[in-house]
């Protein structure tokens, strides 16, 4: 590092330390970094490259071309330039964002990006990804979810480690203020004359995060200087609360005569639980299949149906679709199956 003075600062140590701890657990693995070309992911790429050989980690970068911005092709070139500078292979995945999905532009782009990661992981046999989300991103996420009326699950914010489709995603910098990243980036730019890309949509007030950065953040910084740290702490507390809820849900779920590889449980036993634990179990059950949580209104409708239908399911057909799956009641059991298998008969 002696020939890289930008890595010898106290700010750089705050970036390298969480990566060092993480890489110690990933020794000898293949690891990919989601590289947008922006300052955050670029510095994650720089710091990870510095440590990779020490832990015998095979590193690669993946840039997802969303095709949403006129500058998208230029961003590809900047990512390739950085990858060449760091001597790390960079792969470009081009996606088509489904703007009619109902997720909004930001949500649809995120979904397309993860699909690209899954495709890349399968092709390159990579099962560990690093993402450059930081303290500011976490605070914005918690604030957005609070304004949306999210419960404990949503108020956990982003997790430092999540598992999706047998792929591990890590966010080692969730506790790092973006100002620290920018300081290290200044030194890197001075030494190598490489500048990160500027995505104008990040400050575009037509998008919710852009509106927070443009209008809310200046006031919050003025009157509540520690708002980002406080919201991040709140997220950690909510993570603990959710873990408690999950632990209780597992205890309750295990007492529901589980069958069919966790795809069905006894309706009568579920009805004996207090109402708040009934809903908790349903959320936990969905999480076992990595399904998104239903809206509050949808969950209320499910609870109504499950509480009112005849316990053997003979008085009416209950069919509750969700995320390409269907919840059914047959012979006194609540069953979840992929939509195309909803006519399958399960064991009694």
Would you say 299 and 308 are in contact if contact means Cβ atoms under 8 Å apart? no
Tokens at 147, concatenated: 């304004």
3-state DSSP call for residue 338? strand
Q: Is 332 annotated as a binding residue?
A: no
Q: How far apart are CA 53 and CA 68, in angstroms?
A: 35
Q: Is 38 annotated as a binding residue?
A: yes
3-state DSSP call for residue 341? helix
Q: Is 151 annotated as a binding residue?
A: no
CB burial of 117-132 (b: ≥16 within 10 Å; e: otherwise) equals beebbeeeebbbbbbb
Q: Are strands 30-34 and 128-130 parallel, antiparallel or unpaired?
A: parallel
Q: How far apart are CA 186 and CA 180, in angstroms?
A: 10
Would you say 105 and 99 are in contact if contact means Cβ atoms under 8 Å apart? yes
Q: Is 150 annotated as a binding residue?
A: no
DSSP 224-290: -TTHHHHHHHHHHHHHHHHHHHHHHHHHHHHTS--BTTTTEEEHHHHHTS-HHHHHHHHHHHHHHTT
Q: Is 168 annotated as a binding residue?
A: no
Q: Is 41 annotated as a binding residue?
A: yes
Tokens at 210, concatenated: 């852009």
Residue numbering of the annotated binding site for ATP: 36-41
Binding residues: 36-41
């Amino acid at each position: 590092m002696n020939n890289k003075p930008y890595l010898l600062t106290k700010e750089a140590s705050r970036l390298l330390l969480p990566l060092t701890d993480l890489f110690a657990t990933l020794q000898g693995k293949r690891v990919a970094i989601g590289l947008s070309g922006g300052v955050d992911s670029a510095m994650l790429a720089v710091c990870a490259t510095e440590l990779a050989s020490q832990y015998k980690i095979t590193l690669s970068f993946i840039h997802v071309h969303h095709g949403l911005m006129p500058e998208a092709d230029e961003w590809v070139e900047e990512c390739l330039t950085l990858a060449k500078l760091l001597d790390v292979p960079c792969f470009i995945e081009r996606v088509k964002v489904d703007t009619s999905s109902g997720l909004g532009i930001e949500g649809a782009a995120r979904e397309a990006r993860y699909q690209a990661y899954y495709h890349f992981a399968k092709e390159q046999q990579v099962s560990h990804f690093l993402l450059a989300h930081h303290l500011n991103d976490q605070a914005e996420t918690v604030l957005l979810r609070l304004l949306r009326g999210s419960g404990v699950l949503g108020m956990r914010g982003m997790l430092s480690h999540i598992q999706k489709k047998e792929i591990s995603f890590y966010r080692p910098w969730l506790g790092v203020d973006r100002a620290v990243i920018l300081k290290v980036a200044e030194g890197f730019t001075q030494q190598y004359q490489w500048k990160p890309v500027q995505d104008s949509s990040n400050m575009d007030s037509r998008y919710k995060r852009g509106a927070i950065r443009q209008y809310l953040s200046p006031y919050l910084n003025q009157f509540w200087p520690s708002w980002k740290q406080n919201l991040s702490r709140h997220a950690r507390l909510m993570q603990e609360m959710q873990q408690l809820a999950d632990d209780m849900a597992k205890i309750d779920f295990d007492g529901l005569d589980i069958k069919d590889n966790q795809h069905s449980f006894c309706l009568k036993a579920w009805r004996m639980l207090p109402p708040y634990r009934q809903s908790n179990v349903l959320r936990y059950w969905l999480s076992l299949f990595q399904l998104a949580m239903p809206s509050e209104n949808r969950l209320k409708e499910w609870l109504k149906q499950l509480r009112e239908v005849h316990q053997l399911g003979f008085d009416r057909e209950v069919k509750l679709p969700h995320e390409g799956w269907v919840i059914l009641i047959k012979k006194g059991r609540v069953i979840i199956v992929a939509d195309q298998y909803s006519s399958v008969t399960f064991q009694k």
